[in-house]
A and B are shown apart, each in its own frame.
Chain A
Amino acid sequence: MLKNAIGREIPERIEGLGELTPYQGPFAIRPKNRRRGPQLRQVEPGEKKLLPNLEKALIETGAHDGMTISFHHHFREGDYLLDKVIDAAARIGLKNLVIAPSSLTNVHSSLIEHIKNGVIKRIETSGLRGSLGEFISKGMMDTPVIIRSHGGRARAIEAGETKIDIAFLSVSSCDNYGNASGCVGRNVCGALGYAMVDAKYAEKVVLVTDTLVDYPNVPASIDQTDVDHIVVIDAIGDSGGIMSGPLRHTSSPRDLLIAEYTAKVVEYSGYFKDGFSIQSGSGGASLAVARFLRDKMLEKNITASFMMGGISAQHTVMLKEGFVRKLYDTQTFDLEAVKSLAENPNHVEISAAYYANPHSKGAVVNCLDVGILSALEIDTDFNVNVITGSDGIIRGASGGHSDIAAGAKLKIVIAPLVRKRMPIVVDRVNTVTTPGETIDVLVTDWGIAVNQKQPELMAVLGKTGLPLYDIKELQEKAESITGRPDLIKYTDRIVGIVEYRDGSIIDVIRQVM
């Protein structure tokens, strides 16, 4: 075991995953290798790409035991494809597969069966939830899962560390030569930002759609030059699985209080001026931050240059109203936003690599002024956990969290001090996904703590009348409310490793007793 730069014990190697590099700092590891693309291939005039079903696609693309197949999670809780492909793989007798989806959600609990019966050997993902997360946390897989951020996944794929043999990518519409869109079709999902990386770097690319359209289906998010085969099925997913219906504003006073404090931190931080840029999440408090900022922008007569992140109806309304000039969209969060992506030229789809790959000539996160981030837990060193619950069970996603924290100029974590009886500000988080040295401010409903590494910001905010505390005081306050929780008991066995965006290991997840 080695201790990494934040004091977490990391094994030197893990059976089935090989040597591990401990985390050394947000920009300590410099890339040395080259991009690793797929074998060149010549599709000749007249060749057909359409295949009748998923089994045929697996056979045609040379599926074999132990290979790596990838998926995207743009349909979130409405995804049908992953289950269908794994079922097909099981039917043709494939074993020991590595699956590398951009993330997994509650709908993917059927994977448990395929892990038990040996079809799936290993998983690489951004997130895990529900019974699958619990299953893995209880040590039911032989090889630990790899948790990566969105930028980290794009990096691993481009660097050839995640070598995808076949990418199965559901697309809302496609023509018979492989031009695909997420904005048109029976089941739309909007941006295909995660899938765009797989399409470029997977050895074989199979698009799966329920809406085959006439050639050419352009503008296309994934284009024909990268696509080997196309399969048409009844339904690829349910658009309802990405949030549908009218825009809902939170009325939770707690969310609104946190949002109000956060908006004030942004306002006074020095970054709130004409042309500023911001990423805010999709949670109630995050969306409320954007609404409060909108009022302040109106007051000061300024506009934002761009906003990014999961794009929701609220962002698109601000785009239409002229509060923001461009939206960068990797993943679309509701149908209203899908419509905007299709119609508004200033709403721009980008790949996960463009968004966040650290080993590139500059990802969008590097251009961000303000990042608003969530937390399942945060400790007195500002280390953030967004992957395991307070009970130690995997129930979250790394997402773009550590990417934004590394790239943006002002990184704010927002969270209630106590969630139910759980203290959220703790001595030591169960799992670190984002290192504290990349977090500047914590905003809770009880008050605000500034990282000591930012004395200037502390001085600026100190003059504003905002309720500032040492993070240690907030931790003590939380504990005085909840009582001191009993420690979660873990075994020595490692069930997951958390990669930092640069590929080093920031923490490991152990089996819960």
Chain B
Amino acid sequence: MQIKCVGESGTTASGDILIKIEPCEGEDIDVEIYSTVGKQFSRQIKTAIINTLQELNVSGIRVLAKDNGALDYAIKARTQTAVCRAGKVLSFDWGVLSDEQNKENDAVCSR
């Protein structure tokens, strides 16, 4: 996905995370994290952000995260939202996130 402008999502309320994404030169993903639980969780927060970005095929960006104890699902959601906003996505292809996975699960179940 192409990042066109600055995209922001989330809040700094308890249990939430504020994610700001901006385009930058090159193909790197540069992540900066400030977290109230940084000592114990900054590694996992970073992993959640990077995995989400890779899933959406995004690179060449700078990410600023201000975390106040968000769980991984919320980090993922805020990152996805920020990416869509930064990519000015009008209609998100939800199949990308889930259809394959659902079908795989289905295949596993029916086996």
- B40: interface (CB < 8 Å): yes
Chain B residues touching A, majority SS: loop
Write out, one digit per residue, whether chain A residues 365-402 have a CB within 8 A of any chain B CB (1) or not (0).
00000000000000000000000001110000000000
Instruction: Report the stretch among A261-269, A313-321, A478-486 that lies at the interface.
Output: A478-486
Query: Shortest Cβ distance from A446 into chain B, in angstroms?
Result: 15
CB-contact partner of A422 in B40, B44, B70, B72, under 8 A: B40
- Chain A min CB distance to B14 (Å): 6
> Of all chain B residues, which has the CB nearest A393?
B39
Tell me whether B34 is interfacial, beta carbon within 8 Å. Answer: no
Taken together as a complex, chains A and B put the C-alpha atoms of A106 and B40 apart, in Å, by: 24
In the assembled complex, A32 has its CB within 8 A of some CB on chain B: no
Asked if A488 is an interface residue, CB under 8 A from chain B, the answer is: yes
Chain B interfacial residues counted at CB < 8 A:
14
> Which of A421, A483, A488 has the most B CB atoms < 10 Å from its CB?
A421
Of the candidates A392, A483, A486, A488, the one whose C-beta lies within 8 Å of that of B72 is A483
Interface residues of B in 21-74 (CB under 8 A from A): 36-37, 39-41, 43-44, 68-72
Are B36 and A488 in contact, with the CB atoms below 8 A?
no
Residues of B within 8 A of A421 (CB): 15, 37, 40-41, 69-71
B70 touches A486 (CB 8 A): no
Query: Which residues of A sit under 8 angstroms from B44, Cβ to Cβ?
Result: 483, 486
The answer to whether A420 has its CB under 8 Å from any CB of chain B is yes
CB-based contact B41/A390 at 8 Å: no
Nearest neighbor of B17 in chain A, beta-carbon distance = A421
Judge whether B14 and A485 touch: CB under 8 Å. Answer: no
Name the prevailing secondary structure of the A interface residues: loop
Residue of A nearest to B39 (CB): A391
Contacts of A390 in B (CB 8 A): 37, 40
Nearest-CB residue, chain A, relative to B72: A483
Given contacts A420-B68, A421-B69, is CB(A483)–CB(B41) below 8 Å? yes
What residues of A have a CB within 8 angstroms of the CB of B15 in the complex?
Answer: 420-421
Given contacts A481-B71, A483-B72, contact A420 B40 (CB under 8 A): no
B43 surroundings in chain A (CB, below 8 A): 486
The smallest beta-carbon distance between A392 and chain B, in angstroms, is 8
Evaluate contact between A420 and B72: CB separation under 8 angstroms. Answer: no
Asked whether, in the complex, the Cβ of A485 is within 8 Å of the Cβ of B40, the reply is: yes
| Alpha-carbon separation in the docked complex, A485 to B44 (Å) | 9
A485/B71 contact (C-beta < 8 A), A420-B14, A420-B15 known: no
- Which residues on B sit within 8 Å (CB–CB) of A420? 14-15, 36-37, 68-69
A485 and B37 CA atoms in complex are apart in Å by 9
Question: Does the CB pair B71–A488 fall under 8 Å?
Answer: no
When each residue 477-510 of chain A gets 1 if its CB lies under 8 Å from chain B and 0 otherwise, what string results?
Answer: 0000111011010000000000000000000000
Q: Complex Cα distance A483/B14, Å?
A: 17
- Taking CB atoms, residues of chain B closer than 8 Å to A488 are 39-40
The 9 closest A-B pairs by CB, nearest first: A420-B69, A485-B40, A421-B69, A391-B39, A421-B37, A486-B40, A483-B44, A421-B41, A420-B14
Please name 26 pairs of A and B residues whose Cβ atoms are closer than 8 Å in the assembled complex, sorted by A. Answer: A390-B37, A390-B40, A391-B37, A391-B39, A391-B40, A392-B39, A419-B69, A420-B14, A420-B37, A420-B68, A421-B15, A421-B37, A421-B40, A421-B70, A422-B40, A422-B69, A481-B71, A483-B41, A483-B44, A483-B72, A485-B37, A485-B41, A486-B39, A486-B40, A486-B41, A486-B43
Q: Which residues of B are interface residues toward A (Cβ below 8 A)?
A: 14-15, 36-37, 39-41, 43-44, 68-72
For the complex with contacts A421-B71, A482-B71, A483-B44, 19 further pairs of A-B residues with Cβ separation under 8 Å are A390-B37, A391-B37, A391-B39, A391-B40, A419-B69, A420-B36, A420-B37, A420-B68, A420-B69, A421-B15, A421-B40, A421-B41, A421-B70, A422-B37, A481-B71, A482-B41, A483-B41, A485-B37, A486-B44
> Which A residues contact B (CB, under 8 angstroms)?
390-392, 419-422, 481-483, 485-486, 488
